Amino acid sequence: MHYLEGTLHGFLALTTEQGQVLAAGDLIETVRGDRVTSHLTFHFKDGSLDDETAVYTQHGVFRLISDHHIQRGPYFPHPLDMMIDVAKGVVVTRSPGKDGKDEIATDRIKMPADLYNGLVIPVIKNISPDARETKVSMIVAAPKPRLVTLNMMPQAPGTFYLTGIPRKATVYEIKIELGGVAGIIAPVIGKQPPNIFIEIFRGELPAFLRETGPLFEGGEALTISLIGPTWSAQSHHQPAK
């Protein structure tokens, strides 16, 4: 690990391939000692919510402590409420029951040291530029929680612009490997998930630029990108009333 995560508040937008804005997001990170709490939320225009809180340590390496991921609302065909407790080795999922009460399921999973739910961006920022591929683990609900492998591979550099001036972005393609012989298990839990693309700016200090991929199995490809605040022309230099 080369770069520690620090306290921050980032503003994000979630858009379709056609540029339609579906949701506004906030990424808030707080640090106490070597423990980081990362809270990522997207509030959709249709009232849907995507909310994930990851807690981890960064003492030499990243180590996940817990991850709680919630998806609910009209945008999501299947609600998600999944809590990972690494120390206990359990994954607790909640789903709506027929009687209106939540059904709670607890699964025991052997948690690998490189389990990185909610930590993909910090991990990518710390990948050596010379690494041809980097593999880490993640737990997905499909529909029963299971381990998958994320294979992160650098691609040809991309170009982005700041005030019209071009800069180079480092692009990573992330392939989700479902286990066993590649692709063999895909028909059991659905078709092979599409690849995800993440772009960062390395420079003196790596910075996240954008991510493109679905939010759930079978979902459309969406783009998460950084945004800045805007003001109306009338809001500048208005006297207090």
| pLDDT value of position 163 | 92
> Tokens representing 26?
């906030």
| pLDDT value of position 238 | 59
Q: How many other C-beta atoms can be found within 10 angstroms of the C-beta atom of residue 193? A: 22
- Gyration radius of the chain's alpha carbons: 19
Contacts of 214 (CB under 8 A, 6+ apart): 193, 194, 220, 221, 222
| pLDDT value of position 181 | 46
| pLDDT value of position 143 | 73
Half-sphere exposure of 103 (CA within 13 A, CB side): 8
Predicted TM-score (pTM) of the model is 0.89
Q: Amino acid identity, residue 113?
A: A
Whether 162 is in a domain gets the answer yes
Helix (H, G, I), strand (E, B), or coil: what is residue 199? strand
Whether 130 is in a domain gets the answer yes
Whether 21 is in a domain gets the answer yes
The tally of domains found in the chain comes to 1
Whether 239 is in a domain gets the answer no
| pLDDT value of position 193 | 78
| pLDDT value of position 191 | 64
Domain limits at 162?
8-229
Domain with residue 50: its CATH number is 2.40.360
199 bridge partner residues: 171, 210
Cis peptide before 143 (omega within 30 of 0): yes
Whether 234 is in a domain gets the answer no
The residues of the chain scoring below 70 in pLDDT are: 179-191, 234-241
